Amino acid sequence: MTTIRPFTCEDMLKFNNVNLDPLTETYGLSFYTQYLAHWPEYFQVVESPSGEIMGYIMGKAEGHGENWHGHVTALTVGPEYRRLGLAATLMNILEDVSEKKKAYFVDLFVRVSNKVAINMYKNLGYIVYRTVLEYYSGDPDEDAYDMRKACSRDVNKKSVIPLTHPVRPEDVD
């Protein structure tokens, strides 16, 4: 049971039940406001009937030519609201927006250890396009999978032919 609506600034005051989750980063304020000012349609929240934030997605469109794509910056669902298909709902929205913007593909980065998320993305039709070495800083640094799904504009699915070699973070545009 869900209300889907654009994320607003005031949601930042009540997203604690989602953001206190250790895999969800709380960014500096201007990070959120920049996304809101630039890509408001890519920043959506799912809310419970009682007004609690169940999860949200944050994304953007970027790249040139055939690299024009939608990107998932953050996708999170609060622990109480997992396994309800909300992440898929949110991903659908982002894919729809990317289709409307005539993107070639949608991509995202995920920790290689985050099996649950990787499986979910695979079920949603994403493939591991490449591995980005030591993308997440920490102790030790962790690799990321760059996962992709082609949009309808990429008729020949060129964007989702996996790379055979891993890349370094500085090679990721």
Partner 1 sequence: MAVRPQHVHDGGIVERRLRPIYDWLDIGNNKKALQEAEKVLKKSPTLQAARALKALALFRLGKGLEAQVVLDALADEKPSDDTTLQAMTISYRESQQLHKVCMLYENAVKSEPANEELHSHLFMSYVRVGDYRSQQRAAMALYKFAPKNPYYFWAVMSIVLQAKTSEDNTKRGILLALAQRMVDNFISENKMEAEQEARLYIMILELQEKWEDILKFIESPLYSQLVPGSTAQASIPYLKKLGQWKRLNVVCKELLWDNQDRWDYYVPYFDSVFYLMKENEEDSDSSIDNTAEKCHEFICQLVESMSSGRTLRGPYLARLELWKRLAVDGDPTSLIGNGLALCVQYLRVFANKPCAVPDLRPYLGMIPQKEREEKCREFLTCLGFDENSEPESADDIQRHISCLAAWRLVAAPLSSTGALELAATLRGHYMRCLQKGLVTSNITEFCAADHYGILAAHHYFYAGVEQQSSAPIVEALCLLELVLHHSPANFHAKLLLVKLYHLLGNAVAADSIYQRLEVKHIQLVSLGWLHCARLAPACLASRALQLLADTRAFLKHHGKDSVEHLTYAYKYGTFEKLVELAGWAARLEGCGWGAAAARDQALLAQLAGPPALLHQPSRLPALPTDNRDLNVIVNYEPPQFQDDNLKARTFDQEVSYLRLKDALVSAIALCIELADSRPVEEKKGHYEQLNTCVEAFSTAMEKCRQLYAERERISISAPFPSRIIAFVNSPVPYRELYATMLRLVGELAINRTTAAHDACDAVARLLPKAQLQLQDEIAVKGDPVWSMRDRLESLSNYLEFIGIITFLLGVCNELFSPASAKKSKKKTNHSPDEIKTSELLNKLNNTVQTSIAFLENILDEWPKYEANIDEILAKLSLDDKYQSPVENKLKTGRDDMLNDVRNILKRKSKYLKSLLQ
* CA–CA gap between residue 30 and residue 21 (Å, rounded): 21
- Give the contacts of 115 (CB within 8 A, at least 6 positions apart): none
The number of residues that bind partner 1 (CB under 8 A) is: 45
Minimum Å distance from CB 116 to partner 1?
8
Among 62, 63, 82, 142, binds partner 1 (CB under 8 A): 82
Is the separation of the CB atoms in 61 and 69 below 8 Å?
Answer: yes
37 lies in the site for partner 1, by CB under 8 A:
yes
22 lies in the site for partner 1, by CB under 8 A:
yes
> Toward partner 1, which CB reaches closer, 16 or 119?
16
* CA–CA gap between residue 57 and residue 77 (Å, rounded): 9
Minimum Å distance from CB 120 to partner 1?
14
Task: Give the residue from 26, 100, 29, 99 showing the smallest Cα distance to 56.
Answer: 26
Minimum Å distance from CB 162 to partner 1?
27
Among 50, 137, 156, 164, binds partner 1 (CB under 8 A): 50
Give the SS3 label for residue 164: coil
